[in-house]
C-alpha cells in the first residue's frame, strides 16, 4: 500500500470512528409495577437509535425482544400492564437512598 493509500485509509477510518461516536445509541431500562398487585415487577433493557426511529427492547421474563420506534413507545405499550418508567444510562446515576 502506498503512503497516499495509507493516509486515505486512516482518514476514512477516522471519519467512520467519529460518525460511530456521534450516532451512538442510547441505553435505557424500563421498569414498573403491575397494576395487579399479584403480578411480577416489569424490568427490561433496551437500546434506542436517536434520529432513526429505531429501538430494541429485551424483557427477560419470557425472553421477549421488541423492535419499535422508541423507548417511549415501549413504555406506552407496557403501560397497560403497569406504571412504567424509563431510566437512561447516559444520564447521571440515581441517588442511592
- Whether 40 has a pLDDT exceeding 60, the answer reads yes
Report the C-alpha gap between 82 and 48 in whole angstroms: 22
Question: What confidence category does residue 97 fall into, taking pLDDT thresholds of 50, 70 and 90?
Answer: very low
* pLDDT of amino acid 53: 87
Q: What are phi and psi of 53, to 5 degrees?
A: 45, 60
* pLDDT of amino acid 29: 97
Report the C-alpha gap between 89 and 97 in whole angstroms: 18
* pLDDT of amino acid 1: 67
Outline where 1-97 has alpha helix (H).
Answer: 3-22, 71-78
Cell, residue 21: 461516536
- Whether 35 has a pLDDT exceeding 90, the answer reads yes
- State pLDDT tens for residues 1-28: 678 888 899 999 999 999 888 888 999 9
Dihedral sign, Cα of residue 77, residue 81, residue 84, residue 90? negative
Burial of 5 (0-12, 13-18, 19+ CB in 10 A): exposed
Amino acid at each position: 500500500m502506498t503512503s497516499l493509500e495509507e493516509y486515505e485509509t486512516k482518514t476514512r477510518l477516522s471519519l467512520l470512528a467519529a460518525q460511530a461516536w456521534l450516532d451512538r445509541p442510547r441505553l435505557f431500562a424500563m421498569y414498573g409495577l403491575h397494576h395487579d398487585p399479584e403480578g411480577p415487577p416489569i424490568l427490561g433493557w433496551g437500546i434506542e437509535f436517536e434520529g432513526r426511529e429505531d429501538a430494541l427492547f429485551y424483557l427477560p421474563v419470557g425472553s421477549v425482544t421488541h423492535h419499535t420506534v422508541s423507548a417511549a413507545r415501549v413504555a406506552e405499550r407496557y403501560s397497560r400492564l403497569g406504571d412504567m418508567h424509563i431510566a437512561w444510562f447516559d444520564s447521571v446515576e440515581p441517588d442511592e437512598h
